[in-house]
Amino acid sequence: MRHPYGWLAALAGSVLVAACGGNEAVLSDATSTQIQPVRTIIMVWDGFRPDSINAKDTPNLYALRQAGVNFSDNHATYPTFTMLNSSSFATGAFPKTSGFYGNTFWTPPQGPDNIIPQGNLATPNSAGTAAAAADYDDPIFTEDYQVLTTLNNYYGGQLLLVKTLFATAQAAGLTTAAIGKSGAAYLQDPGRGGYFLDENTVQPRSLVTELQNAGYALPANTQFGYSGADAVTLASANGDPTARAGYITFNTTAYDPKGTIAIAARDSADTTQGTPEDAANQYMMTVFTQYILPKKQPILSLIWFRTPDNTEHGYGPGSANALSSSRSQDQRLGELISALKANGMYDSTNLIIVSDHGHSSVSGPLALYPLRAITPSGTAPGGPLINGTTSGTDAAAIGAPSSNGYSFSGDVRSADLLTYRGFSAYDGAGCVTSAMYGLQADGTPTIPVQVDTTGALCGAPNTPYQAISASLAAPVASFKVPAPGSLPVNGIVIAANGGSDYFYVPGHDPAIIGNLVKFLQQREEYGAIFVDSRYGALPGTLSMSMVNLENAQRQNNGQPDVVASFTWDDQVSIQGMPGIEFESANNDHGMHGSFGATDVHNTLVASGPSFRANTVISDPTGNVDVAPTVAYLLGLTMPQADGRILNEALLKPASASAPTVKASIVTPSAPATGLSFELPADPTGNTKDAALTQGTYTIDMAIKDLSVDGKTYRYFDYAKAIRQ
């Protein structure tokens, strides 16, 4: 018996429960050190909505929820991005404590001695050649272990300012393993103290050798993470086991007034692709269940797959492919459960299934932008059948307005809208096109497609783009962040993140902040607005400190100055799933990151020897509570965590005190007044909303304060703009 702790703890727990009747199984002198570590596996289903759990599509998770604990009011950390919630799982903390602001954030070049080193490669999954160095002058997308390593070095090893759950476990001599999605899995263990496998690498180096000797393929990019004496040579039959397919797309000229310029639209009506990353997830789960789990017997593991999130982004929540990806993810859970049983570990292992955030359909208001049919065709233009293979282009088309149809609206590019209105705004995204910029009821595109024939705007000739700022006297279409030293003193850098945008104002001019906030309040695409409290209480805004987003060590160095959620509506359904929102332009049918109820409320289910059976916990809980709870299951503590131990769910809780919960609405101290509101269908701002005549803007933020054992923990249900 090499790892007796889990077995002993399971036995001790069951005896104690039997003797004390379960609910009262608490000793008055209970301390966390009484508990021996119980093997715990956290499985993250990226973007999985709690209303997607059912016996038909997710039978394994449904059964686990029935058998164990269903946390029916769990909360993602706002902004509801993947990497930000990854940091909450890693540390049990909000950005005010962890200092982490992913997915995409910006840290201004600090001068010649303190510029982020650009030598580290980003590692997108393309076999054969290493990727180019990432550009840290622009906002940086952090779903990449090399990027995270570069940033960790830049921050002096303090990318996360507090000790992680994994480091806490490792310091106690416990074996850990993290596998799965690029970036999100790595952030659990940036100190590299445990076993690690993601879509791009394997760590430590000794595990590379072990896996190769055991006949396993490696992620193809593993070769780019090692050099010199540690260099990795892939076996000739290695292949690319973590490759994933693209989305099924079709070409549309709906955004070109001349009808000649095609852009790619993702085909939400497609029913055939399933999960583009199916093979990659199966590979990683196989390495975990067949090698890491039995050979290394980790006491703490985290498995994070990009499913169903990736499919929801491409096709939208509720689409046939998104449902298929839920079934795929549930099959991976089934494989994990089978492996635990085969290794005699199931009864002594806690399983925690959690999503990082919910997921919404991307759409503007349906009164402005009706849903549209997609007319299918199984035949690629001029080619063989493609629809039905793993990816490609078919000959579908955007059809007439249809209440059962799909959205072709919701994309917003803040840098473009701001530049058009006279701000100096940059997002670093270059020239882009998207089929989600909006087709109005009469078919008029909100932002038409044009072509930069000379390359003067986009850097390469014949590049298509959509940008209203291209019509200015000094036209702009790419919004590249100027090189260090060239950023205008009044410049604004935008980290576009999906359901919310970060705004950096490196000059910190209160007048620029005020004008930016007024612009955001007047445009109806933007919802609740949060401002760094150093700028004072601006009418109609809440401070970033109220939502745990101010961090003194990251001020001017990663922390944004203004955070704006895009407008959302949880009463509108597309493909049977409630919840729509605008997004930073990215041509997605699904998105998250907003302060909408649909994005905030996410999945949390737990089952195993430490958890109560057949229990629904309706108290508010949050992603920040997972790490301190797991630490407790391991006999450890995380004193720096913002979250709490979820004692209500435990057979042997650290405290038996009953929490009290008080719900309320928080509003700004004063509304903004004297505004005129601008309709999303006119990006110039000239068309005002005639229905809103008072000109006032404020925010309703719904919170729940849970008090227990002398401490109060705040959970955020939503924040929305109120325009009148």
What is the nearest approach in angstroms of Zn ion to the Cβ of residue 160?
18
Of 47 and 108, nearer to Zn ion (C-beta) is 47
Of 307 and 610, nearer to Zn ion (C-beta) is 307
**Should residue 588 be labelled a site residue for Zn ion when binding is judged by CB under 5 A?**
no
Of 175 and 329, nearer to Zn ion (C-beta) is 329
Of 74 and 647, nearer to Zn ion (C-beta) is 74
Q: Cβ–Cβ contacts within 10 Å for residue 227, how many?
A: 9
What is the nearest approach in angstroms of Zn ion to the Cβ of residue 184?
7
Of 163 and 181, nearer to Zn ion (C-beta) is 181
- Stretch of residues binding Zn ion (CB under 5 A), selected from 75-83, 86-94, 156-164, 630-638: 75-83
Q: Print the SS3 string covering 1-38.
A: CCCHHHHHHHHHHHHHHHHHCCCCCCCCCCCHHHCCCC
Residues facing residue 584 across a β-bridge: 412
**Should residue 143 be labelled a site residue for Zn ion when binding is judged by CB under 5 A?**
no
- Positive or negative torsion for Cα 407, 413, 419, 422: positive
What is the nearest approach in angstroms of Zn ion to the Cβ of residue 187?
12
What is the nearest approach in angstroms of Zn ion to the Cβ of residue 200?
17
What is the nearest approach in angstroms of Zn ion to the Cβ of residue 356?
4
Torsion of CA 645, 648, 652, 655, to 10 degrees: 60
What is the nearest approach in angstroms of Zn ion to the Cβ of residue 357?
6
- Stretch of residues binding Zn ion (CB under 5 A), selected from 74-82, 196-204, 212-220, 383-391: 74-82
What is the nearest approach in angstroms of Zn ion to the Cβ of residue 393?
27
What is the nearest approach in angstroms of Zn ion to the Cβ of residue 223?
27
| Collapsed DSSP state (helix, strand, coil) of residue 103 | coil
Residues facing residue 606 across a β-bridge: 69, 352
Determine the number of helices (DSSP H) and then strands (DSSP E) in the chain.
14, 36
- Stretch of residues binding Zn ion (CB under 5 A), selected from 101-109, 340-348, 354-362, 460-468: 354-362
Q: Which helix (H) or strand (E) holds 705?
A: strand 697-708
Number of residues that bind Zn ion (CB under 5 A): 5
- Stretch of residues binding Zn ion (CB under 5 A), selected from 78-86, 450-458, 468-476, 600-608: 78-86
**Should residue 46 be labelled a site residue for Zn ion when binding is judged by CB under 5 A?**
yes
Non-local (6+) Cβ contacts of 258 within 8 A are none
Of 123 and 602, nearer to Zn ion (C-beta) is 602
What is the nearest approach in angstroms of Zn ion to the Cβ of residue 44?
8
- 285-314 residues in contact with Zn ion (CB under 5 A) are 309
Pairing of strands 562-566, 526-531: antiparallel
Residue nearest to Zn ion (CB): 82
Of 187 and 633, nearer to Zn ion (C-beta) is 187
Of 438 and 499, nearer to Zn ion (C-beta) is 499
Q: Give CA–CA dist 205/225, Å, rounded.
A: 10
What is the nearest approach in angstroms of Zn ion to the Cβ of residue 547?
19
List the beta strands (DSSP E) in 413-517: 424-426, 450-452, 463-465, 491-496, 500-504
- Stretch of residues binding Zn ion (CB under 5 A), selected from 151-159, 222-230, 355-363, 431-439: 355-363
Supply the angle between the helices 82-91 and 626-633 in degrees, to the nearest 10: 30
* One-letter amino acid for residue 163 of the chain: K
What is the nearest approach in angstroms of Zn ion to the Cβ of residue 498?
9
Of 308 and 428, nearer to Zn ion (C-beta) is 308
Q: Give CA–CA dist 164/170, Å, rounded.
A: 10
Structure tokens at 420: 């058009």
- Stretch of residues binding Zn ion (CB under 5 A), selected from 42-50, 202-210, 265-273, 296-304: 42-50
Of 356 and 561, nearer to Zn ion (C-beta) is 356
Of 46 and 625, nearer to Zn ion (C-beta) is 46
- Stretch of residues binding Zn ion (CB under 5 A), selected from 76-84, 100-108, 187-195, 424-432: 76-84
Out of 60, 70, 77, 82, the only residue in the binding site for Zn ion (CB under 5 A) is 82
> In 155-204, where does DSSP find H-type helix?
165-171
CB 615 within 8 A of CB 152: no
Of 255 and 305, nearer to Zn ion (C-beta) is 305
What is the nearest approach in angstroms of Zn ion to the Cβ of residue 46?
4
What is the nearest approach in angstroms of Zn ion to the Cβ of residue 527?
20
Pairing of strands 542-543, 74-75: unpaired
Q: Give CA–CA dist 15/19, Å, rounded.
A: 6
Smallest CA-to-CA distance from 704 within 718, 686, 716 is with: 716
**Should residue 198 be labelled a site residue for Zn ion when binding is judged by CB under 5 A?**
no
Of 70 and 603, nearer to Zn ion (C-beta) is 603
Pairing of strands 424-426, 372-375: unpaired
List the beta strands (DSSP E) in 199-348: 202-203, 248-252, 263-266, 300-305
- Stretch of residues binding Zn ion (CB under 5 A), selected from 41-49, 433-441, 657-665, 670-678: 41-49
Residues facing residue 491 across a β-bridge: 424
What is the nearest approach in angstroms of Zn ion to the Cβ of residue 208?
27
Smallest CA-to-CA distance from 160 within 541, 638, 511 is with: 638
Of 39 and 266, nearer to Zn ion (C-beta) is 266
Site string for Zn ion, 500-519 (x = CB under 5 A): --------------------
- Stretch of residues binding Zn ion (CB under 5 A), selected from 221-229, 352-360, 501-509, 516-524: 352-360
Q: Give CA–CA dist 352/355, Å, rounded.
A: 10
**Should residue 356 be labelled a site residue for Zn ion when binding is judged by CB under 5 A?**
yes
The structure tokens 């039978």 sit at 59
Of 120 and 275, nearer to Zn ion (C-beta) is 275
What is the nearest approach in angstroms of Zn ion to the Cβ of residue 309?
5
Non-local (6+) Cβ contacts of 435 within 8 A are 252, 254, 255, 263, 264, 265, 266, 398, 408, 587
Chain residues in the site for Zn ion (CB under 5 A): 46-47, 82, 309, 356
